[in-house]
Amino acid sequence: MKLQFPLSALAFATLLSGCQNMSPDAMLQTGMMAVQAATLSDAEVKSQADQACVQMDAEAPIAPADSKYSQRLDKIAANLGSQIHGTPVNYKVYLTDEVNAWAMANGCVRVYSGLMDLMTDNEVEGVLGHEMGHVALGHTKKAMQAAYATSAARNAAASSGNGAAAALSSSQIGELGEALVNAQFSQSQESDADDFSFDLLTQRGVNREGLVTAFEKLAKLGSGESSMFDSHPASAERAAHIRARIAANK
């Protein structure tokens, strides 16, 4: 698990790394953008996520609707529901061997074919419930604010000669999307997302066992073989926590 830094500290560190090359106007602009990032509304976060998701989709091989992966995901999606706290969910499969899945605040949920090859439908349900939990519990919003602050500060530094920062470029939006996909959540956030998935599966009448066995499979993967393994620490312990909840039936 990587160390978590407050948003203001992250933006300030980014500012310091390039302040020697900034004009006073650019430094002021960077500070303003850091404040703006910290106060992004839900609507603004979703708008940024819209752009990032479109950019990610444009650069990824997406499974066609008639593929075995899309058909499996349609079945899984029907079990999980079509909304995350009122936000419509858009499910797609990326055709890549990487074992990963993620969700953004705008309801953009993506699962990689490598994860689907490794796991059963029930296990994928557990993993996606977890990723949806990060959205529902506001974790992805905080990750968006931090990523936006970093991109905005870099943008201000690059435009220091003009005294003002332009809107994020296409490449920066792509970097924003990558930052969200690879966001490192705290242990407490991961645990809360696990419990969200458990509760969601329970409410939807879905077998919770898949959440346990999904983490057990991730625990067996070596570090570096799965980005999910790197960003979801202590998989074995978390599997044990969910198994205990199943045993207690609560």
How is 211-222 classified by DSSP, letter by letter?
HHHHHHHHHHSP
Q: Cα 113 from chain centroid?
A: 17
Q: Cα 28 from chain centroid?
A: 30
Decide: helix, strand or coil at residue 88.
strand
CB 76 within 8 A of CB 124: yes
* 131 is a catalytic site residue: yes
Decide: helix, strand or coil at residue 101.
strand
85: left (phi over 0), alpha (psi -120 to 50) or beta: left
The β-bridge partners of 110 are 92, 102
- Of the residues 123, 125, 131, 190, only one is catalytic, namely 131
The β-bridge partners of 84 are 87
Decide: helix, strand or coil at residue 91.
strand
Alpha-carbon gap, residue 210 to 133, rounded angstroms: 16
Catalytic residues: 131
